[in-house]
Structure 1
Amino acid sequence: MKQLKPAARLPVKKPARAMRPSPRPDIVALHGEVARLRQAVREEGEAAVAGWAECLHRPEFGPSARNLAHYLALRHRDLRALQSPLMALGLSSLGRLESRVLPGLEAVEATLGRLAGQEGGDWPSEAAFFAGQELLARRTEEVLGPVSPDRQVGLLVTCPSEAADGPGFMLELARCGVEAVRINCAHDDATIWARMVEHVRAAESETGRRLRILMDLAGPKIRTGKVRHLRDGKRILEGARLAIVPPGGLRRLDEDEADFAAECTLAEVFGMARAGERVFLDDGKIGAVIDRADDGCLLTRVTRADAKGVKLKREKGINFPDTDLRCAALTAKDLEDLDFIVRHADGVGYSFVQSAADMKDLQDALAARRPEDWQRLSVILKIETQRAVRALPEIVVRAAGRQPTAIMIARGDLAVEIGFARVAEMQEEILWIGEAAHVPVIWATQVLENLVKKGMPSRGEMTDAAMASRAECVMLNKGPHVFEAVRELDTLLRRMAEHQHKKTPRLRRLASW
C-alpha cells in the first residue's frame, strides 16, 4: 500500500489583539443619569441637614439624620423608569437603599462607570455600605436592650391591670424571652403601676433577664362620654341622625333634631370641625358626615354602620380625620403621669404626637422633671394621625437628635384616620423612614389578636405577624392567651429571620423540595 505523505501544515496566524468593545450608548447615558442623581441627592440632603442643625444635640445621630435627608431627597423623585435598565444589567434597582442612600448610589455609579469604560468612582467599602444597618441594630438595643440574635425582632407586651396582683405575669414574660413590657397610663393609676414595676424588678432578679419598662401617656384621646337614645331603639343604623355635643351638652340639646346623641370628651373640637367633614366612632364601626357645626353641637348623618346597627357606649374612640385638630399633645393628666414615668420607666410612649413642636414640649417636660439625665429615657413616637405621618421626618429628627427613639405604627387609630385601604401602604412608608433614620420601628395593634383573645389564630393574622418581621419590635396586646401568643410569635419570628432581613430576602437553602 502506498504510504500517504502527511498533509502540509497551514501557517497558524497569531490572534489579533482583542479589541475592547465600545461601551453601549445606553450604559454611558445610564451612568450619567445615576451620577447626576447622586450629586443632586447629596446637595439637597446636605441643605436639609443644615436646617435641622439646632435639633442635633447627639453627635452619634448626625450620620443617621444625614442619611434620612438623603433618603427624602431620593424619594421625592419618581425612579421607576431608572429601575428596569439597572436590573437588566444585574445591578441594584435602588429599592433597598433605606439605610445606605449615598453608599448605595456610589456603588451603582462606580459599576456603571467601569461598564462605560470610564475610570474613577471607587466602590464604597463593605464597612461603609453596611454602617447604617449596624447603627439601626445599636439604636434598637438602646430602646429594647439586647434582642435575641436568633429572632432579631424584639417582643413588647401590654400589661393588663391584673399584672399588678402578683409577680406571676411578669415572671412568665421574662421566662418567655420578652424584651419589654408596656404600661398604658390611660388605665389604672400610680398605685397599680408601682406594683407592676415592682413585679418587673422581681422577675428580673429571679430570671437574670432585664425587662425594659415603656409607659404610654394617654394623650388627648377623643372619646364618647354619656350617650342618649332620643328615639325608640338602641342601635344606630345607617341614615340615623347623631348629635355630638360637648361634655354636659346633652341637657341643652334640641331633641327634635337627632335620633341619638353622645358627648365628646374634647371640647376644643367644636371650634374646629366644619360641615362636610367626616367623623368615625368606635374604631370606625360608625361613620358619619357633619351636616351642621357650631360651638354647641355637631349634627351628623350616619353613612356607615352594620346592617344590624351599632350600640354606641361610653369610652369609645372618636376620630375626625378631615379636621385640622390643633390641640396640645400633652394633657394635664399626661404631665402628672410624667412625674411617675421619669422615676420608674425606661421609656415613654408619646400618644398622638403630631409635630416637632409637640416633641419639644415633651422634651422640655422631661428635662424639668429629670434635668441631670433625661436624655437617657427613650421616647416611642406613636403615629396615629394624618398630620403625624406628614410631619414624621421632622418629629424623628427632633426626638432622636436628643434621646433614644423608636416609632410605633399605631395601626388602630391610624387606620381610622387615613382609611383602612391605605394603612398597609402607610405602614410600609413608616418602616422605610425608620430604617433611613436608623430608628427602630414597633409594629403594633391587633397582632395575633384572635390568638391572644380566643386561643386560636386566624390564617390572615399569622401572615400579618410574619410581615412584622421587617420591623425591629412587635407588640402584643393584653388577653387571656397572651403567653401562648408570645411563644407562637417567638417561633414564627425565629423562622422568618432565616428568610428575610428588612426588605432583603435571605437565600437560605430550601429544604421543602
Structure 2
Amino acid sequence: MKIQAEKIKNLLVQIDGFLVAIKEAENSQTDSLAKIAKPYRKSARNLVYYRALRKFDLRDFQKSMRQLGLSRFANAEGHIKASLLNTRLILQALIKDEGKKMLKSGLSIKSARRLLVSHTKDLLGYRSPGRRVRIMVTQPSEAANNYELVEQMVRKGMNVARINCAHDTPDIWLSIIKNIQVAAKASGRNVKIAMDLAGPKIRTGAIQPGPQVRKFKPLKNDLGEIIQAASVLLVPELEEGSADNALPIGAAALEGLNRGDELTFRDTRGKKRKLIIQERDKDGYLVAICEKTTYVKTGTVLQLSTLPEKVFVVGALPAVEHFILLKEGDVLRVDRTAVAGESAQYDDQGNCIQEAHISCQVPEIFKKIKKGHPVLFDDGKIKSKVIEVKEDCFRVSILRASEKGAKLRSEKGINFPKTTLGISGLTSKDNEDLKFVAEHADMVNFSFVNSKADVEELFAVLQELGAFNRLGVIFKIETRLAYNNLSEILMAAMQAKQVGVMIARGDLAVETGWDNIGLVQDEILAHCSAAHLPVVWATQVLENMAKNGLPSRSEMTDATISLRAECVMLNKGAYINDAIDLLDTILKDMEQYHDKKEIMLAKRTKLSIS
C-alpha cells in the first residue's frame, strides 16, 4: 500500500505540473484569445490547454493511470482542465489527501460536449432523426437539370449539398441550388449549401487532342453473339451535358426521319455500317441502334437507304481525350509555357526521338523546384523525382506507376510534398467565385489553406462582401504546411462564429505520405475536438459504391470510422443515391455502439440470418 501511495503522489505531482503548464500557456496567449469570437472563447482556451499538455510525453503517465483503472485522457481533448482536476480529486481521495481544494475547471465535461453540438448545428444545420453525423454530397453537373436525382438525395438523407467551383459555371451552380431548395422544401427538410473554392491547386496542362470521333460497340456474349445492339441518340447538336452516345445531325434531319428508317454510311475505317431508327424519345430525339462496332467522326455522311440522295452530315464531335502513358524509368518533361502535352515519340528502332512532355498550369512554381525533390501526379498514382531543372522546364524520372503503365491526363493534380512553393491564399478566380458564394450559399469550403495569413485574407474578403459571420467557413486541411500550421489556423479561424474543418484525405495523404495519413488524420481530429470544431470526413468514402454500385470491405470499415467526425462527404457517381442510403444506414446502426470516439457497450446481440 505504501508503494501504491507513493505512485499516486507522483501522479499528483505530474498533474500539478500539467496544470501549471496550461495556465502559463493561457497567460501567453492573452492577445490571441481576446480576438476569438464569443461562441468559441471557451473552446479556444481549451485548445491552448490541449496544445500545452501535448508538449509532455504522457505515455508513462497514461500507463500508471491505466494500472489504477483511471482515465488516461485519451478522450479528454474537449475538456482538458476539467479532466485534470477531476482526476486529481480522485487520486487525492485514494490516499485520503485533503491538502488541496478543488479548483474551478471553467468548462465542465458536459458543457464541452454541448459546445461541439451547438457549433455543429450552427454550421451544418439540423441533424437527421436517429443520426448524429451529417452527410454532405458532392453535386454532379447533372443535378442542374435532373430534379428527380436531387430530390432522391434529399429524401435519402443528404444534409449538406456540396458544389465545387472548380467545375461548371455560375448558371449551372444556380440551377443546382434551385433544385436543392425546391426538393428540400417539398420534403420538409433543411439542406445547407456548401461551395468549394477551387484554390491554387497545381494541375497538369492540356494534352494534344485526339480525333473528333465516337465509338459505338454492341454488347456480346462469350460466343461473340450480340445480346444488345449499341444505342445511338440522334440530336440536333451537342450541348454541355449531352449523352456520350449522342450524334448531332441537325434539326431538319430529325423532322424527316421515322421509326424503321435506315441510315447507311462508311465509318472511319471504310467499313459499311447502318443505323436503324427505333423510336422518338420524350425530347423529340431519335433513338437508333447499330449492330456492329463502328467509329463515327465529324463530317461523316449518312444516307437514307430508301432515298440515297437524301443525306445528313454528322456535326462537330468532341475530340477524344488523349493521355500520356508513363512507366517506371520513363522521363517526363514538365514545361513552364502552355505547350500541349504529348507522349514520347520513337523511331523504327525503338529509340526515343522526343521525350514525353506536359505543361504545368502554375508557372510560379518553377523558381522553387530543386533537383532531387519528389513530384507526384494524379493524387499520388505516379511518383517521380526531379533529375534536371531549367528555366523553362524541369525533367523527372518516373519511380512508380502501375504495372502496365499509368495514364497521365490533363487537369490532374501535381504535388510537391517536400518543396516550399510559397503559393497559397485566394486566387483571382476564388475572389470572383466568392461573390456568387456569398449571395447563394450557406458556407464556403476554403481549399488549400496553409497559414493564419490565408485565414485572415479570406475573412477580409468576406467582410468586404458583407458575408463575414453570415457565411459559414470550412477550412480544408490538405497540405503538409496546413497540417504543420494547424493550431494557428484554428485559432485564427475561431475569430468567426461558424467554422469547421474538412480532412481532405486525398491531397493530404499525397502531401504527408501514405504511411503518415493515419496519424495525421488522428491529430487533426484531436485538435478539432479540443477546439469543439465540427469535422468533415472527406475523400473516397464509399467511392466504389457511388461509382460502381458495390462497396468494398475497406470502404465499409472506413465509413464506420467516420463516426468520429460530425459530417461525412460523399463524392458523385452513378450510384450516389444508393451510397447515401447505405451510409445513412451504417451511421444510424453504428451510433448505437459509438459516441464519437467512445465505444458504447450495449447488450450484445447475435446477427439474424435471413
In the superposition, the TM-score normalised over structure 2's length comes to 0.76
Q: By how many angstroms is 1:54 displaced?
A: 5.6
After TM superposition, the structure 1 = structure 2 runs for residues 164-243 of structure 1, keeping only pairs within 5 Å, are 164-227=144-207, 235-243=325-333
From 362, 372, 375, the equivalent of 1:276 is 372
Alignment-derived partner of residue 91 in structure 2: 112
Alignment-derived partner of residue 603 in structure 2: 509
Q: Do the aligned residues in 2 keep the contact of 1:242 with 1:258 (CA within 8 Å)? A: no
Change in CA separation of 1:294 and 1:175 when aligned onto 2, cut-off 3 Å = same
State the distance in 2 between where 1:369 and 1:385 align. 28
Q: Do the aligned residues in 2 keep the contact of 1:157 with 1:182 (CA within 8 Å)? A: yes
Change in CA separation of 1:512 and 1:124 when aligned onto 2, cut-off 3 Å = farther
- 2:205 is paired with a residue whose SS is strand
1:329 aligns with 2:421: no
State the distance in 1 between where 2:208 and 2:139 align. 33
- 1:99 is paired with a residue whose SS is helix
Q: By how many angstroms is 1:423 displaced?
A: 1.0
Unaligned runs of 5+ in 2: 210-322, 346-351
Alignment-derived partner of residue 8 in structure 1: none
Q: By how many angstroms is 1:88 displaced?
A: 1.4
Q: Sequence identity of aligned pairs in percent?
A: 39
Alignment-derived partner of residue 357 in structure 1: 453
State the distance in 2 between where 1:488 and 1:506 align. 22
1:130 aligns with 2:106: no
Alignment-derived partner of residue 12 in structure 1: none
Residue-by-residue CA offset, 1:94-153 (whole Å, 9 max, x unaligned): 111111000001111111112222114338789822211110111110111111352110
From 46, 62, 69, the equivalent of 2:48 is 69
From 459, 466, 476, the equivalent of 2:560 is 466
Q: By how many angstroms is 1:51 displaced?
A: 4.3
Q: Do the aligned residues in 2 keep the contact of 1:281 with 1:318 (CA within 8 Å)? A: yes
State the distance in 2 between where 1:287 and 1:366 align. 38
User: Which one is further off, 322-331 or 377-386?
Assistant: 322-331
Change in CA separation of 1:311 and 1:129 when aligned onto 2, cut-off 3 Å = closer
Alignment-derived partner of residue 294 in structure 1: 390
1:312 aligns with 2:396: no
Change in CA separation of 1:28 and 1:204 when aligned onto 2, cut-off 3 Å = same
Change in CA separation of 1:308 and 1:175 when aligned onto 2, cut-off 3 Å = same
Alignment-derived partner of residue 317 in structure 2: none
Q: Do the aligned residues in 1 keep the contact of 2:38 with 2:497 (CA within 8 Å)? A: no
From 22, 30, 50, the equivalent of 2:30 is 50
State the distance in 2 between where 1:395 and 1:489 align. 30
State the distance in 2 between where 1:89 and 1:311 align. 57
From 35, 39, 43, the equivalent of 1:60 is 39
Aligned length: 486
1:93 aligns with 2:72: yes
State the distance in 1 between where 2:457 and 2:129 align. 36
1:248 aligns with 2:332: no
From 494, 499, 504, the equivalent of 1:410 is 504
Change in CA separation of 1:117 and 1:207 when aligned onto 2, cut-off 3 Å = same
Q: By how many angstroms is 1:509 displaced?
A: 1.2
After TM superposition, the structure 1 = structure 2 runs for residues 419-434 of structure 1, keeping only pairs within 5 Å, are 419-434=513-528
Q: Do the aligned residues in 1 keep the contact of 2:131 with 2:591 (CA within 8 Å)? A: yes
- 2:357 is paired with a residue whose SS is strand
Residue-by-residue CA offset, 1:7-61 (whole Å, 9 max, x unaligned): xxxxxxxxxxxxx9897222222212222222222222342x32414641x1221
The amino acid across from 1:246 in the alignment is R
The amino acid across from 2:559 in the alignment is A
Residue-by-residue CA offset, 1:286-327 (whole Å, 9 max, x unaligned): 111111223311111111111211122111111111110112
Q: By how many angstroms is 1:234 displaced?
A: 5.1
Q: By how many angstroms is 1:476 displaced?
A: 0.3
Q: By how many angstroms is 1:92 displaced?
A: 0.4
After TM superposition, the structure 1 = structure 2 runs for residues 469-508 of structure 1, keeping only pairs within 5 Å, are 469-508=563-602
Q: Do the aligned residues in 2 keep the contact of 1:31 with 1:116 (CA within 8 Å)? A: no
Alignment-derived partner of residue 262 in structure 1: 358
- 1:420 is paired with a residue whose SS is coil
Q: By how many angstroms is 1:203 displaced?
A: 1.2
Q: Do the aligned residues in 1 keep the contact of 2:33 with 2:44 (CA within 8 Å)? A: no
Alignment-derived partner of residue 15 in structure 1: none
Q: By how many angstroms is 1:194 displaced?
A: 0.8
Alignment-derived partner of residue 142 in structure 1: 122
- 1:395 is paired with a residue whose SS is helix
Larger strand proportion of the pair: 2
From 367, 370, 384, the equivalent of 2:478 is 384
Runs of 4+ in structure 1 over 4 Å off: 20-23, 123-127, 254-258
After TM superposition, the structure 1 = structure 2 runs for residues 369-380 of structure 1, keeping only pairs within 5 Å, are 369-370=465-466, 373-380=467-474
- 2:394 is paired with a residue whose SS is strand
Alignment-derived partner of residue 6 in structure 1: none
